[in-house]
């Protein structure tokens, strides 16, 4: 018999995407003035891609967070 | 990953003393470390839920349609598949997309609409389990033993391929990659069983999409869109057509794959993909974990919509590689120092566009894909060994806890065998091709046997067993004949211009047809099972449960038709 409700996988997805999003977003800001030596680095993808990951991560984490009884 | 739909990944031997493609920063390493810690943490969290056999082997049959559908798709979306097919799209162009469209979507819809009810209503825990109910122990045992053996072999091949990629791309030590990844997979699958495997497959799904989607975005920006990309490909590779799906398939010699449209439609679309997506337990197990019949039916159809989109992150990067990479890529065999192989096109594109952070995310997606592939194989192995070999043949009556314990041990034993296979693959690079071929021997014939059994009550246990054996035997015979005398390829694939992939398609077609003929012939002269024995196993002896979704949008059939309609539109667009 189960005493505990299984947390939805979406919660873990949200946590992982959120953490990754913040790390990538911050690194994008830090390298803004000296972007890496890659093609199209001037688009600053880590900033907007990191922001997108963070937003999606936060939405999933909040929507599927563990709730009290 | 055990898919016969995956081209043989030419891992080859790692190239020593050659510079690797990318260098990871501290941030990239942190992103990879967070993934490892995360999956281990999730495994330990899920251990408390995997108490009974149904929990451990079928994730408690409580997965929603979306979770089951994404896990169903992700079990096939490993890194071997990603790297291999991206390389194939560099080699063959958009023809590689057939394996994602006609070679997947109709089969997924068929599974959801026609076959899933039989698996689900019969309450079987596996595909060999259904064969046991429908045909008896002989056919089930043959299927279970071949599946278990091939699964651990594929897991090892997967492991070795990952180690080679990490060596070539990042310069990592091969033994380090093999042991760290397998110990991690072993811990989290042994802890949470199918729960762990499914949770990690869903995580992997998101990581792969977010880790790889920027490649086509950047690529299309750099080339100025689809037409710009096509113009660059034509400039780089004049005289070759890489961007049409069907118009070059009229003759074997007109396309780089050496393929004819009959091979794609009948060999791939009608036989090989049907066999893989509807009878390979590795993928079907994910759908069996659904919480009810409706979820189990809609799950593969949900998966089909995402499958249709996968070429965006697999095929398009390969095509973009043809357009933007400054150097040409080559087959693994005969590669010289400083050159890169087709299979490295995805890592090369990652390194071209991704700086610190994004590179870590992309590499994590690849690692996650490899590990999910291993987890899928060992969890399916543990289930088939415990329920379809150990229980019926070795220990029929034991407490449920005993079988769960056996499942946990099998997970670890399966991984140890996989590690052995990985080292075997290291010594014999061609073992990958053989294992891939061995796996395909059993998949194509199995589809005919299972489908006939579901649709026709006259098919007998003897017919099922001998049909399966005849289909497999004929497939093996054709493979050996071509190995001994390569000129026989022109007989099997109907043209002297046919190439290796065409051989796979036609071999699957002939072996499956032969298996079906033998199944029917033997059934006609042997005694069928009684009506009562076939209850719930055959089409006109099934009591269909009433579904509470009378609206059109709630019907799996409606979404299946939508998926097939979208498939047709894609064929028309890229004709």
Burial class (CB in 10 A: 0-12, 13-18, 19+), B28: buried
Inter-chain residue contact A2 with B38, CB threshold 8 Å? no
- Tell me what pLDDT residue B331 has: 81
- Tell me what pLDDT residue B434 has: 65
The token pair that represents B158 in the structure block: 């997967």
Query: Is residue B439 domain-resident?
Result: yes
How many Å lie between the alpha carbon of B171 and the closest alpha carbon of chain A? 20
Mean pLDDT calculated for residue range B498-519: 88
| Distance, CA of A20 to CA of A57 (rounded, Å) | 9
Q: How many domains does chain A have?
A: 1
Look at residue B284 and tell me whether its pLDDT is greater than 50: yes
| Distance, CA of B120 to CA of B537 (rounded, Å) | 10
- Choose among B46, B199, B210: nearest Cβ to A53: B210
Mutate to test the interface with B, among A5, A31, A38 (most CBs of B within 10 A): A38
- Tell me what pLDDT residue B2 has: 37
Query: Is residue B156 domain-resident?
Result: yes
Query: Is residue A1 domain-resident?
Result: no
- Tell me what pLDDT residue B7 has: 46
For position B278, which CATH number holds? 1.20.1730.10
- Tell me what pLDDT residue B139 has: 87
Query: Is residue B553 domain-resident?
Result: no
Inter-chain residue contact B199 with A9, CB threshold 8 Å? yes
Split at pLDDT 50, 70, 90, the class of A3 is: low
Inter-chain residue contact B361 with A20, CB threshold 8 Å? yes
Give yes or no for B401 touching A (CB within 8 A). no
Split at pLDDT 50, 70, 90, the class of B532 is: confident
Crossing angle of helices B358-383/B79-92, nearest 10°?
Answer: 110
- Choose among B222, B324, B355: nearest Cβ to A46: B355
Query: Is residue B15 domain-resident?
Result: no
- Tell me what pLDDT residue A69 has: 54
Q: Which of B26-30, B115-119, B273-277 has the highest mean pLDDT?
A: B26-30
Split at pLDDT 50, 70, 90, the class of B526 is: very high
| Other Cβ atoms closer than 10 A to B565 | 10
Look at residue B141 and tell me whether its pLDDT is greater than 70: yes
Which residues of chain A are within 8 Å of residue B202 when distances are taken between CB atoms?
Answer: 9, 13
| Distance, CA of B498 to CA of B536 (rounded, Å) | 44
Query: Is residue A39 domain-resident?
Result: yes
Inter-chain residue contact B202 with A13, CB threshold 8 Å? yes
Choose between A14 and B550: higher pLDDT: A14
Inter-chain residue contact B353 with A35, CB threshold 8 Å? no
Query: Is residue B447 domain-resident?
Result: yes
Split at pLDDT 50, 70, 90, the class of B12 is: very low
Inter-chain residue contact B49 with A9, CB threshold 8 Å? no
H runs (alpha helix) in B122-173: 127-135, 137-170
Interacting residues of B430 by C-beta distance below 8 A, sequence separation 6+ = none
Q: Which residues pair with B341 in a beta bridge?
A: B330
Split at pLDDT 50, 70, 90, the class of B373 is: confident
Inter-chain residue contact A50 with B357, CB threshold 8 Å? yes
Kindly report, residue by residue over B434-477, the tens digit of the pLDDT: 666 776 787 888 888 888 998 899 999 999 999 999 999 999 89
> Quick check: B72 and B241 in contact, CB under 8 A?
no
- Tell me what pLDDT residue B430 has: 60
Look at residue B5 and tell me whether its pLDDT is greater than 50: no
* Residue indicated by tokens 């192989």: B341
How many Å lie between the alpha carbon of B67 and the closest alpha carbon of chain A? 8
| Domain ranges, residue A21 | 9-63
> Quick check: B354 and B212 in contact, CB under 8 A?
no
Q: Which of A64-68, B31-35, B72-76, B174-178 has the highest mean pLDDT?
A: B31-35
- What one-character-per-residue DSSP string does chain A give? ---SPPPPHHHHHHHHHHHHHHHHHHHHHHTSSS--SSTTGGG-HHHHHHHHHHHHHHHHHHHT-----
Crossing angle of helices B127-135/B281-288, nearest 10°?
Answer: 90
Query: Is residue B480 domain-resident?
Result: yes
Q: How many domains does chain B have?
A: 1
Which residues of chain B are within 8 Å of residue A28 when distances are taken between CB atoms?
Answer: 357
Q: Is the ipTM of this complex over 0.85?
A: yes
* Residue indicated by tokens 């690529």: B219
Query: Is residue A68 domain-resident?
Result: no
Look at residue B169 and tell me whether its pLDDT is greater than 80: no
- Choose among A6, A16, A24: nearest Cβ to B357: A24
Looking at every residue in chain B, the average pLDDT score rounds to 86
Give yes or no for B207 touching A (CB within 8 A). yes
The token pair that represents B77 in the structure block: 């979306």
Mean pLDDT calculated for residue range B150-170: 80
Query: Is residue A58 domain-resident?
Result: yes
| H or E element in which residue B515 lies | helix B500-524
| Distance, CA of B366 to CA of B372 (rounded, Å) | 10
| Domain ranges, residue B397 | 26-329+338-542
- Tell me what pLDDT residue B432 has: 58
| Distance, CA of B449 to CA of B445 (rounded, Å) | 7
Range B331-352 burial, b when 16+ CB lie within 10 A, else e: ebeebeeeebbbbbbbbbbbbb
Inter-chain residue contact B199 with A12, CB threshold 8 Å? yes
Crossing angle of helices B400-427/B174-212, nearest 10°?
Answer: 100
Kindly report, residue by residue over B298-321, the tens digit of the pLDDT: 999 999 999 999 999 999 999 999
> Quick check: B98 and B314 in contact, CB under 8 A?
no
| CA angle centred on B119, ends B118 and B122, rounded to 5° | 75
- Tell me what pLDDT residue B499 has: 79
Quick one: what percent of chain A has pLDDT higher than 70?
93
How many Å lie between the alpha carbon of B415 and the closest alpha carbon of chain A? 25
Inter-chain residue contact A31 with B358, CB threshold 8 Å? no
Query: Is residue B11 domain-resident?
Result: no
Mutate to test the interface with B, among A1, A12, A31, A50 (most CBs of B within 10 A): A12
Split at pLDDT 50, 70, 90, the class of B166 is: confident
Look at residue B326 and tell me whether its pLDDT is greater than 60: yes
């Amino acid at each position: 018999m189960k005493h505990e409700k299984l947390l939805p996988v979406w919660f873990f997805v949200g946590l992982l995407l959120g953490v990754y999003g913040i790390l990538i977003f911050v690194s994008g800001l830090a390298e803004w003035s000296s972007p890496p030596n890659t093609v199209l680095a001037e688009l600053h993808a880590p900033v907007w891609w990191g922001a997108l990951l963070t937003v999606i991560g936060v939405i999933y984490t909040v929507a599927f967070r563990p709730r009290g009884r | 990953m055990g898919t016969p739909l995956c081209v043989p990944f030419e891992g080859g031997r790692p190239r020593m003393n050659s510079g690797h493609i990318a260098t990871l920063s501290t941030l990239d390493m942190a992103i990879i470390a967070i993934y490892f810690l995360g999956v281990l943490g999730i495994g330990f969290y899920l251990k408390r839920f995997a108490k009974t056999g149904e929990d451990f082997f079928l994730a408690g049959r409580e997965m929603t349609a979306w979770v089951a559908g994404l896990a169903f798709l992700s079990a096939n979306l490993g890194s071997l598949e990603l790297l291999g097919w991206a390389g194939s799209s560099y080699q063959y162009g958009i023809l590689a997309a057939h394996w994602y469209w006609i070679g997947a979507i109709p089969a997924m819809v068929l599974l959801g609409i026609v076959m899933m009810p039989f698996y689900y209503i019969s309450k079987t825990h596996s595909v060999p389990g259904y064969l046991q109910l429908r045909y008896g122990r002989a056919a089930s045992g043959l299927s279970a033993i071949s599946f278990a053996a091939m699964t651990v072999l594929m897991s090892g091949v997967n492991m070795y391929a990952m180690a080679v990629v990490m060596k070539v791309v990042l310069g990592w030590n091969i033994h380090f990659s093999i042991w760290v990844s397998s110990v991690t997979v072993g811990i989290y699958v042994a802890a949470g069983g199918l729960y762990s495997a499914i949770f990690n497959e869903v995580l992997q799904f998101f990581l792969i999409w977010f880790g790889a989607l920027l490649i086509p975005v950047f690529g299309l920006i750099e080339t100025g869109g689809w037409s710009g990309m096509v113009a660059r490909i034509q400039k780089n590779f004049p005289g070759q057509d890489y961007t049409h799906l069907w118009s070059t398939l009229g003759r074997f010699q007109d396309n780089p794959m050496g393929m004819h449209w009959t091979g794609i439609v009948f060999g791939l679309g009608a036989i090989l993909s049907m066999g893989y997506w509807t009878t390979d337990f590795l993928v079907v197990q994910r759908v069996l974990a659904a919480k009810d019949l409706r979820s189990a039916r809609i799950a593969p159809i949900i998966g089909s919509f995402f499958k249709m989109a996968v070429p965006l992150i697999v095929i398009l990067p390969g095509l973009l590689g043809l357009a933007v990479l400054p150097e040409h890529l080559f087959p693994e065999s005969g590669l010289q120092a400083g050159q890169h192989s087709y299979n490295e096109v995805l890592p090369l594109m990652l390194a071209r566009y991704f700086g610190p952070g994004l590179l870590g995310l992309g590499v994590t997606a690849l690692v996650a894909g490899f590990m999910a592939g291993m987890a899928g194989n060992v969890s399916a192995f543990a289930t088939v060994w415990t329920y379809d070999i150990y229980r019926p043949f070795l220990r029929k009556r034991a407490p449920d806890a005993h079988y769960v314990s056996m499942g946990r041990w099998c997970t670890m034993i399966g991984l140890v065998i996989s590690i052995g296979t990985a080292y075997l693959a290291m010594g014999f690079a061609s073992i990958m091709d053989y294992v891939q071929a061995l796996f395909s021997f059993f998949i194509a014939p199995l589809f005919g046997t299972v489908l006939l059994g579901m649709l026709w009550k006259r098919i007998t246990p003897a017919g099922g067993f001998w049909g399966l054996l005849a289909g497999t035997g004929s497939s093996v015979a054709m493979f050996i004949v071509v190995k001994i005398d390569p000129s026989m390829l022109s007989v099997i694939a109907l043209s002297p211009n046919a190439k290796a992939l065409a051989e796979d398609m036609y071999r699957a077609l002939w072996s499956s047809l032969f298996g079906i003929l033998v199944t029917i012939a033997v059934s006609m002269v042997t005694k069928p099972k009684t009506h009562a024995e076939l209850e719930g196993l055959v089409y006109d002896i099934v009591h269909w449960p009433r579904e509470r979704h009378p609206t059109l949008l709630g019907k799996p059939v409606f979404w299946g038709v939508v998926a097939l309609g979208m498939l047709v539109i894609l064929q028309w667009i890229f004709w």
